[in-house]
Structure 1
Amino acid sequence: MANKPLTMLQIRRILKLFMEECSIREFHRQTGIHRVTLKNYLHRFRASGKSFVELADLSDHDLAQMVHPSRNTKAPDERFEDQEGRLKGYAKKLASKRNKYLTKQVLWEEYLKECPNGYHYSQFCHYLEQHLQRNDLTMVVPYHEPGNRLQIDFAGEPLWIVTPRTSERIACPVIVCTLPCSSFFYAEPLASARQEHLIPALNRALVYLGGVPRNVLSDNMAQSVTGKAAFFQVSMNL
């Protein structure tokens, strides 16, 4: 329907594409949103007197009040305002390479220590995700056709096995196989990253996933590349 209100994520996507000077026709082709709806929101953006960049910097509550002034949008409670002030710091922590083991669960537990009456985990993640998307307007989410591609690679850090008798620590590289359309994945720690352990693990991954994709993307894994004759010319060994 042409007059159906859009979600906040859709509104922010409209802002992003208008900032890139995308036409109404092209936007309609990409998203299927009715042209009349797009024109209505464009009129509201311009009537606000703010630039697209300024609108994109607004919080979800302020932006909703701007484009839907007639709707009874509830004022944010103290928890919302408190978390809004913390989101920038949380985003920096997640982006920092020094915090490679940091997760949203750890951030949420840290948040609850400072705000015992704060949001539950799901709501905390919801606002954090909105902040990350709002401040990364150049992010492009590619379309993945179902069943077309399986992405495989080793995880950044190995798991460790400790032998009971000698207490020796043995590193176990972890292979991860992901279907990007659904984010369905298979992960398995291996005795080593050599082919004699990698190939059987890939077979088990296909059995677990229940099918064989058209393509397998391995990100130039050393186990699958035997040599490079020239730039962009490689010999595969799988």
Structure 2
Amino acid sequence: MAAQRLSMRKLRELFRLRFEAKLTTRSIAASLGIGNGTVCDYLGRARVAKLTWPLPAELDDDAALTALLFPEDAKAQAERPEPDWARVHAELKKKGVTKLLLWQEYLEAVPGGYQYSRFCERYGRWLATSSVTLRQEHRAGEKCFVDFSGDGVRVVDAVTGEVRVAKLFVAVLGASNLTYVEPVFSEDVATWVGCHVRAFEYFGGVSEVVVPDNLKAGVTRAHRYEPDLNPTYADLARHYGFAILPARPRRC
């Protein structure tokens, strides 16, 4: 068996080439850029699983096909200790801590544990069912959340070698989570307004409400109930016909 498992897309193509196109093992290997032994291994698994072609509708789901072809995964998962997701969630709130870093620590403690993609998937499932999150429902086209995010990214000038830190303007549609990200070197009003315009162009429209954080480019005075808006930002809202609903300032 190959050290790295084929993607499900490539695996389905392997079966198509064999059972529909009737190609030889060698031809399939050449077409997919894999070894003959890998092709034979997957075809052997297909025989054991008694797969038919075309695949039945219930095997359109990748997880179902994986479970059928790799029954050893279920046994390994049953024997594999689950990460402490509450601890993972708490650690992710710390500056500089990423899921990749926590996954690497997990593998050191549990050799043969979940692969990174599976680790992230299971954390996401835990998060969705955990009481630590409050799920918000957003109507399509209703809200767009905007802010300058994080500590920024290092940008190196390929000619001079100069290193600059770019902030990331992020706009996210509440209902679909469609996201627009733009690196910028300033957080002034002109940049803030320009980023909005380009985000709207990217989205192909404007939401009814835009929810900015309380940064100076958008909100000149943060107040829990009556924040003051930057005049230029207010003009932008009137021009595009959206309402500005600043996020409430955090309590200390």
Counterpart selection for 1:120 from 107, 115, 119: 115
Post-superposition offset of 1:80: 4.0
1:25-71 Cα distance to aligned partner (Å, 9 max, x none) = xxxxxxxxxxxxxxxxxxxxxxxxxxxxxxxxxxxxxxxxxxxxxxx
Counterpart selection for 1:156 from 150, 155, 158: 150
Gaps of 5+ in 1: 1-75
Q: What's the TM-score, normalizing by structure 1?
A: 0.56
Question: Residues 133 and 200 (structure 1 numbering): CA distance in 2 closer, same or farther, change over 3 Å?
Answer: closer
Equivalent runs, 1:180-191 vs 2, <5 Å? 180-191=174-185
**SS class of match (1:147):** coil
Matched to 2:103, the amino acid is: W
Aligned partner of 1:47 in structure 2 is: none
Contact between 2:142 and 2:174, CA under 8 Å: does it hold in 1?
Answer: no
Matched to 1:118, the amino acid is: G
Equivalent runs, 1:69-148 vs 2, <5 Å? 77-84=75-82, 86-95=84-93, 97-98=94-95, 100-103=96-99, 105-134=100-129, 136-137=130-131, 139-148=133-142
Post-superposition offset of 1:157: 1.1
Contact between 2:144 and 2:207, CA under 8 Å: does it hold in 1?
Answer: yes
Output the aligned Cα RMSD: 2.8
Question: Residues 167 and 125 (structure 1 numbering): CA distance in 2 closer, same or farther, change over 3 Å?
Answer: closer
Counterpart selection for 1:236 from 229, 236, 243: 229
Q: Distance in 2 between matches of 1:159 and 1:194?
A: 18
Aligned partner of 1:226 in structure 2 is: 220
Between structure 1 and structure 2, the one with the greater Rg is 2
Question: Residues 94 and 83 (structure 1 numbering): CA distance in 2 closer, same or farther, change over 3 Å?
Answer: farther
Contact between 1:152 and 1:219, CA under 8 Å: does it hold in 2?
Answer: yes
Equivalent runs, 1:167-186 vs 2, <5 Å? 167-186=161-180
Contact between 1:190 and 1:198, CA under 8 Å: does it hold in 2?
Answer: no
Q: Distance in 2 between matches of 1:110 and 1:235?
A: 46
Equivalent runs, 1:36-75 vs 2, <5 Å? none
Q: Distance in 2 between matches of 1:222 and 1:150?
A: 18
Aligned residues: 158
Q: What's the TM-score, normalizing by structure 2?
A: 0.53
Matched to 2:123, the amino acid is: L
Contact between 1:151 and 1:178, CA under 8 Å: does it hold in 2?
Answer: yes
- Percent identity, aligned pairs only, is 28
**SS class of match (1:201):** helix
Question: Residues 101 and 231 (structure 1 numbering): CA distance in 2 closer, same or farther, change over 3 Å?
Answer: closer
Post-superposition offset of 1:113: 4.9
Post-superposition offset of 1:156: 1.6
Gaps of 5+ in 2: 1-73, 234-252
Question: Residues 86 and 194 (structure 1 numbering): CA distance in 2 closer, same or farther, change over 3 Å?
Answer: same
Contact between 2:83 and 2:106, CA under 8 Å: does it hold in 1?
Answer: no
Post-superposition offset of 1:164: 4.9
Question: Residues 111 and 85 (structure 1 numbering): CA distance in 2 closer, same or farther, change over 3 Å?
Answer: closer
Post-superposition offset of 1:205: 0.8
Q: Distance in 1 between matches of 2:132 and 2:111?
A: 35
Q: Distance in 1 between matches of 2:135 and 2:80?
A: 30
Q: Distance in 2 between matches of 1:119 and 1:85?
A: 9
Q: Distance in 1 between matches of 2:112 and 2:182?
A: 38
